[in-house]
Amino acid sequence: DSGVTQTPKHLITATGQRVTLRCSPRSGDLSVYWYQQSLDQGLQFLIQYYNGEERAKGNILERFSAQQFPDLHSELNLSSLELGDSALYFCASSVGRDNSPLHFGNGTRLTVT
Amino acid sequence: GIQVEQSPPDLILQEGANSTLRCNFSDSVNNLQWFHQNPWGQLINLFYIPSGTKQNGRLSATTVATERYSLLYISSSQTTDSGVYFCAVEGDFNAGGTSYGKLTFGQGTILTVHP
């Protein structure tokens, strides 16, 4: 068990809808990262927050947004969902701001129908 | 951005065999990590190894940053080693571009260990 908690484990929704994925980092970790894993794109970095502030941004769509709250948990909001957004979404955390080392949650499998 | 190439793409072993997985990267890095994704989809951090050699049980890793590659060794493989092994790198500040400040993952090596 990595200590990173993600909910829900599975999510099935329809095109055009909006969903929120939640992540609690390991105790003591200040950074939270979001990744998307799909068969065609592999593991893609979306965004990182460090102690409540956005620190790095990857290939995150404008329809997606995230935030990190004062208690350090994070939420990833996906809106106007499309079939192509179906993927495994991972949250990871680390102690510092510098990607080292990353500990991943078990992921949320999103299916858009 | 930085390119990460892993080889081989697939590897099939009998239990007890040894193997070496390779990760090549296209630019200088300040961060390199190896992960194992098990058949249930969980991603486990194996090593944080921007340079040098580390060992953890039957697994060891070596990164030669000046030559831009890293190797993951698995000895006496077990069926529980099956899954996908990912290398991920972060380009250093001097590498510039979009690779600094985020990990870029390779496409992985799919390992299957038969009993």
From chain B residues 47-86, the ones with a CB under 8 A of any chain A CB are 48, 86
Q: Which residue has the higher pLDDT, A48 or A2?
A: A48
Strand partners, A63: none
Looking at residue A25, what DSSP letter applies? P
The mean pLDDT of B21-32, rounded to a whole number, is: 94
Tokens of B100: 């600094």
Closest CA to B80 of B40, B52, B31, B26: B40
What percentage of chain A reaches a pLDDT higher than 90? 90
State residue A47 phi and psi, 5-degree precision. Answer: -165, 155
Round the average pLDDT of chain A to a whole number and report it.
Answer: 96
Q: What is the pLDDT of residue A29?
A: 96
Those residues whose C-beta lies under 8 Å from the C-beta of residue A84, and which sit 6 or more positions away, are A112
DSSP assignments along B80-110, one per residue: GG-EEEEEEEEE-GGG-TT-BTS-EE---EE
Q: What is the pLDDT of residue A98?
A: 84
Those residues whose C-beta lies under 8 Å from the C-beta of residue B90, and which sit 6 or more positions away, are A99, B29, B30, B31, B32, B99, B100, B101, B102, B103, B104
Please say if the pLDDT value at position A6 is more than 80.
yes
What percentage of chain A reaches a pLDDT higher than 70? 100
* Residue A103 pLDDT level (bands cut at 50, 70, 90): very high
Those residues whose C-beta lies under 8 Å from the C-beta of residue A47, and which sit 6 or more positions away, are A33, A34, A54, A56, A57, A58, A60, A66, A76
Q: What is the pLDDT of residue B97?
A: 60
B33 touches chain A (CB under 8 A): yes
Q: Among A36-45, A61-70, B90-99, which stretch is predicted with the lowest mean pLDDT?
A: B90-99
CA B69 to chain centre: 10
Inter-chain contacts counted by CB atoms under 8 A, chains A and B: 52
Please say if the pLDDT value at position A96 is more than 90.
no
B41 touches chain A (CB under 8 A): yes
Q: What is the pLDDT of residue B98?
A: 67
State the virtual CA torsion across A39, A55, A4, A86 in degrees, nearest 10: -30
The mean pLDDT of B23-43, rounded to a whole number, is: 95
Structure confidence by residue, pLDDT tens digits, B48-84: 999 999 999 999 999 999 999 999 999 999 999 999 9
* Residue A48 pLDDT level (bands cut at 50, 70, 90): very high
Q: Cα distance from B34 to chain A (closest Cα, Å)?
A: 10
Structure confidence by residue, pLDDT tens digits, A60-93: 999 999 999 999 999 999 999 999 999 999 999 9
| Residues shown for chain A | 113
Q: What is the pLDDT of residue A99?
A: 78
The answer to whether A65 and A12 have CB atoms below 8 angstroms apart is: no
Please say if the pLDDT value at position A109 is more than 80.
yes
**Which residues in chain A are closer than 8 Å to B4, comparing Cβ atoms?**
none
Contact call for A2 and B108, based on CB within 8 A: no
Contact call for A104 and B43, based on CB within 8 A: yes
Please say if the pLDDT value at position A49 is more than 90.
yes
Cis peptide before A25 (omega within 30 of 0): no
The answer to whether B78 and B96 have CB atoms below 8 angstroms apart is: no
